Structure 1
Amino acid sequence: STGERAIIVLEGRDAAGKGGLIKAIAARVSPRVFRVVALPTPSDRQKTQMYVQRYVEQFPAGGEIVIFDRSWYNRAGVEHVMGFCTPEQHRRFLELCPIVERFIVGAGIRLIKIWLEVGQEEQERRFTARIEDPLRQWKLSPMDLESYKRWYDYSWARDEMLQHTDTKDAPWYIVRSDDKRRARLNAIAHVLAQIPYTRIDRAKAKLPARSEKRRYDDQGSLEGRRFIDEKF
């Protein structure tokens, strides 16, 4: 109603609980207001653009909140650890990122950055559950297994990222996520605390009477059509 714009950046190790947190945030809100962005690997064309360009294209308009399921911080994490970018590209990102985020905040967009921190034992338990449960195996990629092996490389990359990009304009907030439910509640409470709001009283809707003009036999018009067998 006020035209606010907000970006929520969710980062963390693999199996830290980003997907579950996003579902919890978006479960009771309008998808026309809350938009989840999880960008795939950049195309050949996007690789020739400015690094941040494809993320800026997803930024919110008035009255929108965009949740980034991983973001431009890929360069500080997986791209750096896995060698998908050069050391020079990584260094330059850490130098320029605070400047870019200062412009984002200066443009009136609320930038909320959350890092989900999962412990070694809990991450191993979650990976093992994915391996053993056929319904979760889709959540386990070769990149996940590689990240498990490179735990300490990711720890160093995380610390370097926080050192350079935890700024007054766009601070990082860390949520311990070994307990998923507590992590989700704490993260949601934090997001609410960052956005000033007041409760809006809404008039209770009342269903109007159906029009009797040109009454129609709905069921009769469906006779002879193909229905899915009711097995449940």
Structure 2
Amino acid sequence: MKTKKQEPSNAEPATEGKLSRKVYERELERLHGELVAMQAWVQTTGAKVCVIFEGRDGAGKGGTIKAIMERVSPRVFRVVALPAPTEREKSQMYAQRYLPHLPAAGEVVIFDRSWYNRAGVERVMGFCSDEQADKFLASISSVERAIVESGVILVKYWLEVSPEEQTRRIEGRINDPRKGWKLSPMDLKSYSRWYDYSRARDTMFAASDSAWAPWYVADSNDKKRARLNIITHLLSKVPYEKVPREKIKLPKRQKPHGYVEPEDTRHHVPAVF
């Protein structure tokens, strides 16, 4: 029997104001249970799931991925966030270095940015020419069709945020020492090119929004609401079913048979709290 994957449990109206933390935590707990059920189905059936996250800087990709990963096994769910390409990788077909990271049977792979770097940041920041970006876009739908025809469930998300909310979040990174690592000189340059990114996004959608691998756009001005919406949608795109769980009974512990704890001479973590 299939699980019910899209019905919120008495949640607040979907479009009215910011979502309260109480509702968010309640709904996230429920969705975590569904993600664990999906995980069991993926393992049992050998399904292959690939999820791509793209979007503007500060749109909340990292927080959404963290929310997905919070209660699942990193042996089944893998996050791929590739660094800048090496000189050898620069000479390859652009998508080539991403292909080895695609899921095998029983895996869910989440790309924190993907081969669409070429259509976005590389085009906008001048790391590739317009001709190179256009050639990439002319071929990527065929590549994705081959991926889907190989049995991979491919889901692509674009997280969209308003200029005002992006500014608020990036200023928060500047002023919060816990978030300083999220802000690079490249992020500051990217921030100034809002409309270049808008044009690049529109061109990317026009070229790669296909019947077999459509783009799904998520409004992420409310981070909590966006996370719940994306997880709910992801669950709806994977045809998982509940896998029966065997009843677990704890075995009896063995008897000590003369074992005595030795004198404690180990180094301990100081009890500060």
Give me the whole-angstrom Cα distance separating, in 2, the residues matched to 1:171 and 1:132: 37
Question: What RMSD in Å do the two structures reach over aligned CA positions?
Answer: 1.2
Alignment match, 2:109: 66
Deviation for aligned residue 1:104? 0.6
User: 1:28 and 2:71 equivalent?
Assistant: yes
Instruction: Normalising by structure 2, report the TM-score.
Output: 0.81
- 2:54 alignment counterpart: 11
1:225 is aligned to 2:241: no
- 1:75-114 equivalences under 5 Å are 75-114=118-157
Q: Distance in 2 between matches of 1:35 and 1:217?
A: 42
2:226 paired residue number: 183
Match of 2:164 in 1: 121
Matched residue type, 2:266: R
Per-residue deviation at 1:143?
Answer: 1.2
Question: Greater shift after overlay, 62-71 or 200-209?
Answer: 200-209
For residue 15 of structure 2, what is the aligned residue in structure 1? none
Aligned length: 230
> For the residues of structure 2 that align with 1:67 and 1:87, how far apart are their CA atoms?
27
TM-score normalized with structure 1 length: 0.95
| 1:192 maps to 2:235 | yes
Once the two structures are superposed, residues 65-101 of structure 1 have per-residue CA deviations (whole angstroms, 9 ceiling, x without a partner) of: 1000000000000000001012221110010001101
For residue 213 of structure 1, report the CA deviation from its aligned partner.
Answer: 5.8
Q: Return the alpha-carbon distance in structure 1 between the equivalents of residues 260 and 219 of structure 2.
A: 57
- Identify the residue that residue 214 of structure 2 maps to in structure 1: 171
> Which secondary structure does the structure 1 equivalent of 2:78 belong to?
strand
Q: Provide Cα deviations, 1:161-191, integer angstroms capped at 9, x if missing partner.
A: 0000001011000000000011001100110
Structure 1: give runs of 5+ residues left out of the alignment. Answer: none
* Structure 2: distance between partners of 1:197 and 1:230: 45
SS, match of residue 268 in structure 2: coil
Specify which structure has the bigger relative contact order, considering alpha-carbon pairs within 8 angstroms and separated by 6 or more residues. Answer: 2
What SS does structure 2 have at the residue aligned with 1:57? helix
Q: Among 99, 110, 121, which residue is 1:56 paired with? A: 99
SS at match of 2:87: coil
Shift of residue 204 of structure 1?
3.7
Identity of aligned residues (%): 57
| C-alpha distance in 2 between matches for 1:97 and 1:130 | 34
Structure 2 CA distance, aligned partners of 1:230 and 1:135?
A: 24
Q: 2:205 aligns with which of 127, 152, 162?
A: 162
Counterpart pick for 2:176 among 115, 123, 133: 133
Distance 1:85 1:209, change over 3 A: same
Distance 1:214 1:41, change over 3 A: farther
Give the distance between the partners of 1:215 and 1:134, measured in 2 at CA: 53
Gaps of 5+ in 2: 1-43
- TM-superposed deviation, 1:24: 0.7
* Bigger shift: residues 85-94 or 169-178: 85-94
